[in-house]
Amino acid sequence: MIALVFFYLASAVILGGALTVVLSRNIVYAAFGLIASLSGIAGIFILAFAPFLALVQILIYGGAIVIVIIFALMLTKLEDFRTLSDHKHWPLALVSSLVILGLITSAAFYLPVNLGSRTGVNLSVLAHNLFSQWAIPFEIASLVLLIALIGGVIMVREDK
Amino acid sequence: MIELTHFQLLSGALFAIGLYGVLARRNAMLVLMSIELMLNAVNINLIGYSSFIKATESYRALGHVLIIFVITIAAAELALAIAIILRLYRNKSSVNTDDINIMKW
């Protein structure tokens, strides 16, 4: 019961932050809304008994990705988009996102899987899976990160 | 009691909000933030299924593994997208998606 209260609290934080990102006229407020939304998802991970993923979520999203976004906002001239305007066809975007919402909502009430009670995964089991069965994709992911790093440096380098 | 449906409805709502942001916003940085929201909606769905499905523990750990990969790819994608946006800002002094049409037929 208390878990449900915390779930609704985290949902309110997540959806409120997401609406701030999508509707705010000020891009810095949008970045702060993104922090709130991503931290709320860490709460959802804790409610699903995945404390390691909650830690990773706060560390990578709250500590790295949002900071990088705020740095990128500082490197571009902020006065240019202090007040933001939406696309002139925004009602079309609203309609299509509402259609997607309706599809997902109707699919949520049709569950063709065997459900058990809410349980977590032991961290040693997760580590054993990640480093035995999924070791090669894990190494490829590290290569992807390295290539993204090199590509980012090459793209923003000053031309000689 | 928290049910799997709660997770799915939250995930669907967050995905729809992110989709609206991608389609309606004109600033490239805000489009990027909305894509992050959509990726996180997928993560909520994965963790919900991973914790509620009736299966062995090593089978349920696959959801967690997939979430770790999604977070990794999201970080790489964000770094490259911000590099592209900074480059566009330097070349065209604008991050408005309506002004960026150099690859349009």
ipTM of the complex in this document: 0.90
Structure token digits, residue A28: 């810095």
Amino acid (1-letter code) at residue B74: A
Q: Evaluate the CA torsion angle A134, A140, A144, A149 in order and state its sign.
A: positive
d(CA B31, CA B21): 6
- Is the pLDDT score of A28 beyond 90? no
Quick check: A33 pLDDT over 90? yes
Alpha-carbon gap, residue A120 to B101, rounded angstroms: 47
Mean pLDDT (chain A) is: 88
Phi, psi of B53 (to 5 degrees): -75, 145
Residues of B within 8 A of A53 (CB-CB) are 47, 64, 67-68
Which of A44, A108, A152 is the closest to B83 by Cβ? A152
Single pTM value for the model: 0.91
User: Which of these, A19, A22, A17, lies nearest to A34 by C-alpha position?
Assistant: A17
CB < 8 Å to B23, chain A: 87, 90, 92-93, 96-97
- Do residues B30 and A27 lie in contact, with contact meaning Cβ atoms separated by under 8 Å? yes
A104/B contact by beta carbon, under 8 A: yes
Give every CB contact of residue B42 below 8 A, 6+ residues apart in sequence: B11, B15, B70
DSSP structure class, residue A80:
G
Predicted confidence (pLDDT) per residue in B44-103, tens digit: 999 999 999 888 888 899 999 999 999 999 999 999 999 988 888 888 877 777 777 777
Residue B105 has what pLDDT?
65
Asked if the model's pLDDT at residue A76 lies above 80, the reply is no
Contact call for A19 and B17, based on CB within 8 A: yes
Name the residue facing A18 among B14, B43, B47 (closest C-beta).
Answer: B14
* CA separation for the pair A145, A151 (Å, rounded): 10
